[in-house]
Chain A
Amino acid sequence: MVKPSSQIWTPEAIEDVHEKAELGRYRIRGFSSFQKVPHFDDLVFLSTGLTRFPLEGYKEKCNTKVVIGHRYASQPLELATPIYITGMSYGALSQTAKNALARASSMVGVATCTGDGGMLPSERKNADKLIYQVLPSRYGSSPADLMQSDAIEIVVGQGAKPGTGGLLMGVKVLGDVAEMRDLPSGIDQRSPTRHPDWLGPDDLSIKIEELREATEGRVPIHVKLPACRVVDDVKLAAKAGADAIVIDSMLAGTGASADIMLDQSGIPTIAAIPLARKALSELGLDGEVSLIASGGIRNGADVAKALALGADAVAIGLAALIALNCNKEIPEANYEQEIGVPAGYCRHCHTGKCPVGITTQDPDLEQRLDFEQAANRVANFINATSMELALITRSLGKGDVRSLEPEDLVALTMEASAMAQIPLAGSNKVY
């Protein structure tokens, strides 16, 4: 008789030791964390009954428009719905994928973001609103591109790999990806994790001023933080002069990270948002510094819950890639043959062998992604997500997504209650 497996020596833990015994280094993968942690599914809405009236879907409008980064910027970001596409590098993604995301963002009136490795001219052309990332590596960093951006995001760290630098395997550091980054072709790209020209929060405030000087105070300056010591980090970023803060949780996606970082650092999204909100409230900066949440946003309910917990907008990565076709069975792809797992189980973005042409620099694979169709799918997805958000908001008796609040939620588990600071369903108690 086969005995049940050990609680700690699961087949996965055993396989991990075997793999590292061969490899002699830490393992790398894409996608996101495999940890089971409390998430948005552990929270539900208290929609209306007799205490509040719902709004009529077809008659009464629900405002989804938000403005981000108005603290100091003379031209803050206006989003038709509080969902934008996060920074994913050209290099991690194919050019077609970058362009399709940019086009989709324009179709639905939101923004997209460059990522590591610089700005593609075609991305700028396709995106009405483009956020320009300033990362520790400064790969592809160009003042001219920065000055034609609509917002700037200083990346202190990413939720998928806090405290570690970007990775791009040699199969992707080819052609103009290598050229734009000033790197030798084909090398496994490592990146610094600290910024080259500033270290602590005092320096950061001068860096923020530098970026403001370069753009004449026109565009908002975001600071992206991995969700770790959230309250202190958010306070320091806000005091350093950020117009908006992006809090990126342990559930955030990545193109490549050490898997030990994906699973073992940072805190869940539902814990991070209330802490970030608390930090801004304690500084009296509610309504002044915008809060953007990212990490595991999948649908309109997740967006609504993020907003109710205190975010002003969300950024999406993997959801947008999945709308592009990630993990979808398409006639041109043979997942089992090409990457060794069936569609739905692919987590192999770092290998450059993306069967659907998204996270690859192989021209044959990239051809599997049709630009127009891909852009339409992402635009449809964002529209659908926004409709879900509006539906939930109206069902709560509210005509504006900015009115969502913690009171609209209850938690289904004690853990979620304690982390999100939301009462457990059936009680008035926050655990």
Chain B
Amino acid sequence: MVDIDASQMTTRDINLRLKSNSFSNNGITVKNSQGRHNLGVGLSSNTEIKFEGNVGYFCGGLSSQCQIVIQGNAGWAVGDNLMSGSIAVEGNAGASAGSTMRGGSLFVRGNSGARTGISMKGGHLVVGGDSGFMTGFMMQKGRIVVCGNVGEAVGDSMYEGEIFVGGTIGSLGSDAIVQDASEDELIEVWEMLAKEGIAERPKFKKIVSAKKLYHFDSLERLEKNVI
């Protein structure tokens, strides 16, 4: 493991270093991350990266393949547009965790804020604690698992994908419905939790799209196939 001290470097230098280290098999530890924004952005190879301390906005954003561990809390949009690889936040995450992620996995051991998994297009997002309002807003694909409670308007206007909630649901968003999770699905979700070191096996509720917003109810003359 290589160590670098963030307090002595610019964000650009840290990210360039993380990119250049991407090709070695040994991981890299970034000490004193001190809530800095935009750490570990735009990375694209299989490297283990550890941030010691809190990170600011967009940590691990626009990245693929690497395995990031944040030993602290993360600011807004941790793992935004993640394509593959994994990010684990050992503390809490701010708003928009995993926004628009298209692959890979994001794990938040604590709570995560509003709009968790907003416009998510693939991959897995697991929250060990609670998540805020509008979790899964306009979600398109993938799976969100919240072990605790979710806030209001969960799954609002989602297209596809599924949201599993272990605790209470503040309210369902437009076009979101609760469906029974099958035994197989529950086992799959519990296995996902076990991988993150969570032994509990909550009886999850599953939220999906009712698909009633898929089409405009009516079309104008010219939008139909007749003149």
Contact = CB atoms under 8 A, between A and B. Distances in A.
Interface of A: 19, 22-25, 27-28, 137-138, 141-144, 146-147, 169-170, 181-184, 187-188, 190, 192, 196-198, 203, 206-207, 209-211, 213-217, 337-340, 348, 350-351, 353
Contacts of A196: 77, 80, 96, 99-100, 115, 118-119, 137
Given A138-B121, A144-B44, A190-B138, 5 more contacts: A27-B220, A137-B119, A143-B83, A216-B15, A351-B222
Contacts of B217: 24-25
B209 to A, nearest CB: 9
8 contacts: A25-B218, A138-B81, A141-B81, A184-B214, A197-B118, A198-B77, A213-B41, A353-B222
Most chain B CB within a 10 A radius of its CB, from A143, A183, A211, A348: A143
Interface in B172-214: 213-214
Closest 10 CB pairs of A and B: A214-B42, A197-B77, A143-B62, A196-B99, A138-B100, A182-B121, A340-B227, A213-B41, A196-B118, A210-B58
B102 interface: yes
Given A138-B81, A183-B159, A206-B58, A192 B215 contact: no
Interface range for B: 35 or more
B122 A143 contact: no
B38 A209 contact: yes
A380 B96 CA distance: 46
A198 B96 CA distance: 8
A353 B226 CA distance: 11
B27 to A, nearest CB: 20
Nearest to A211: B62
B220 A19 contact: yes
B157 interface: yes
B138 A187 contact: no
A192 B119 contact: yes
B120 to A, nearest CB: 9
A207 B58 CA distance: 8
A190 B214 CA distance: 9
A280 B57 CA distance: 28
Contacts of B38: 206, 209-210, 213
Contacts of A216: 12, 15-16, 42
Interface string B69-94: 00000001100110100000000000
A91 to B, nearest CB: 15
B37 to A, nearest CB: 5
B214 to A, nearest CB: 4
B50 interface: no
A184 B161 CA distance: 11
B83 A206 contact: no
Nearest to A27: B220
Most chain A CB within a 10 A radius of its CB, from B58, B118, B122, B140: B58
Interface string B117-149: 011011000000000000001101100000000
Interface of B: 11-12, 15-16, 37-38, 41-42, 44, 56-58, 61-64, 76-77, 80-81, 83, 96, 99-100, 102, 115, 118-119, 121-122, 137-138, 140-141, 157, 159-160, 213-223, 227
Nearest to A197: B77
Nearest to B96: A197
A28 B222 CA distance: 11
Contacts of A188: 214-216
Given A184-B160, A196-B115, A203-B57, A143 B42 contact: yes
Contacts of B227: 337-340
Contacts of B96: 196-197
A211 B77 CA distance: 13
Given A197-B99, A206-B57, A339-B227, A143 B216 contact: no
Contacts of A210: 37-38, 41, 57-58, 61-62, 80
A192 B222 contact: no
B45 to A, nearest CB: 12
Contacts of B77: 196-198
B130 to A, nearest CB: 20
B215 A203 contact: no
B76 A197 contact: yes
A104 B61 CA distance: 34
Contacts of A338: 227
B159 A187 contact: yes
Nearest to A147: B42
Contacts of B58: 197, 206-207, 210
A339 B160 CA distance: 33
B14 to A, nearest CB: 9
B34 to A, nearest CB: 15
A286 B64 CA distance: 38
Contacts of A339: 222, 227
A17 to B, nearest CB: 14
Nearest to B118: A196
B6 to A, nearest CB: 14
A196 B77 CA distance: 8
A202 B11 CA distance: 18
A383 B141 CA distance: 44
Contact of A213 (B11, B121, B141, B223): B11
A25 B99 CA distance: 30
B156 to A, nearest CB: 10
B154 to A, nearest CB: 16
A23 B219 CA distance: 7
